[in-house]
Copies of this chain bind each other. A is one copy, B any other.
């Protein structure tokens, strides 16, 4: 169901790149930007995820990308624009995953399992981009925050929609649909906070566990 997400080797570059690229391909899959711009985005993603937006310096990003500090500004107008690009692409990718999982499943139960499982797995496999998406949001400038907020609302809406369908078919019993959607997303989002490749759990195991927990949370008694 979520097989459009490739399973890349545990290299940070490939990992973040896979999360940024809609087709899961190589550099040209990011498509609308140059090779150097991609390198800068990958460098910034590493740095932001590791140290946070404000603790990351432009020199840090530049050196990771193999450029001088000035070289970054040919491609991005500011450090905040770089955060915005990562945030926007990451949110889009996460939303696309959820929508694809919802559409591919035959029943609301299967859809919910695939969505929460897949979303949780994504936040583990791509925990660097996941952290940026979920935890650096408030450091965007207001106009950029507003744009990303639309994507966040779409994500909430997809989950709530599946819950409503499940209630309609009688598969689910949900007292508070938006509240439950929020709690389900919280479980998955929080994975990005605690997951690292050093941890004993695997993204696949997380997908399995969290998908089942989601179904337990809403299934009719």
Contact = CB atoms under 8 A, between A and B. Distances in A.
A47 B102 CA distance: 40
Given A52-B52, A52-B138, A135-B135, A209 B194 contact: no
A17 interface: no
Interface residues of A, number: 28
A95 B220 CA distance: 33
Contacts of A212: 175
A153 interface: no
A212 B182 CA distance: 14
Contact of A201 (B55, B135, B179): B179
Interface in A38-56: 52, 54-55
A52 B183 contact: no
A154 to B, nearest CB: 16
Contact of A190 (B52, B55, B179, B190): B190
Given A183-B187, A183-B209, A190-B189, A52 B216 contact: no
A164 interface: no
A201 to B, nearest CB: 7
3 tightest A-B contacts by CB? A186-B190, A54-B54, A54-B55
Given A186-B193, A213-B217, A216-B216, 12 more contacts: A52-B138, A54-B54, A135-B193, A175-B209, A180-B209, A180-B213, A186-B189, A186-B190, A186-B191, A186-B194, A189-B190, A217-B217
